[in-house]
Amino acid sequence: MEAKKLHKLSIAEYLQIERDNQCKYEYHDGSIIALAGGSLNHGIICGNIYGEIRSQLKKKDKPCLPFNSEIKLHIHSQNSFVYPDTMVVCGQIETSDKHKHAVTNPVVIVEVLSKSTAHYDRGDKFFLYRQIEHLQEYILIEQDKVQVEIYTRKENLWKITRITDINQSIYLSSIDCSVSLAEIYANASL
């Protein structure tokens, strides 16, 4: 049996598929992956972290804007489009030359982990994110237990901090925000 080469989708074809299907897909250099809906805990935690960051940025009058998972991120160097659970852009919002509604310059990215995505979020997806020049912090939040990992960039090295105490807070130095784990996990079932 002869192997058939699969057709690599162009970015234009990918964007058309999203419009036609009214569904979100990740795009990786010609291949697409449909994104499934999240669990109740996932939705609660995503809303909590986005809301806390947004509130603090507003109070501090910081020139930063948080985005939820409705906004696409284009990682040009890897020819990829993804949907982080939350991301923050400071200063001028830079958009993709391939899609005007996709941002390219977040300083913070947050992902809420599930059993099916944890390996990807810590591995291949983190590799993609590390290619973003502006990215300073990557936050991974477990949804089934109290555990938050903060990856902080110092030049080309990444420092990892893990917090598992519900009475502690995470500090996002790139945007000068502190968020308690109690707020992150408020109303989630653990």
- In the chain, the largest separation of any two C-alpha atoms, in whole Å, equals 64
CA of residue 38 relative to chain centroid, distance: 14
Q: Is residue 27 part of a domain?
A: no
Q: State the burial class of residue 183 (Cβ atoms within 10 Å of its Cβ: 0-12, 13-18, 19+).
A: middle
Q: Is residue 50 part of a domain?
A: yes
- Cα(169)–Cα(172) distance, integer angstroms: 10
pLDDT single digits (tens) 1-48 = 444 445 689 999 999 999 998 889 999 999 998 887 788 999 999 999
Q: Is residue 10 part of a domain?
A: no
Residue 49 contacts residue 180 (beta carbons within 8 Å): no
Number of domains, the chain: 1
The domain of 137 spans 38-72+83-184
- Cα(122)–Cα(40) distance, integer angstroms: 22
Q: Is residue 63 part of a domain?
A: yes
- Cα(186)–Cα(43) distance, integer angstroms: 12
pLDDT single digits (tens) 68-109 = 999 999 999 999 999 999 999 999 999 999 889 999 999 999
- pTM for this one? 0.93
Q: Is residue 42 part of a domain?
A: yes
Q: Is residue 176 part of a domain?
A: yes
* Number of neighbouring beta carbons within 10 Å of residue 152: 17
Domain of 92, CATH number, reads 3.90.1570.10
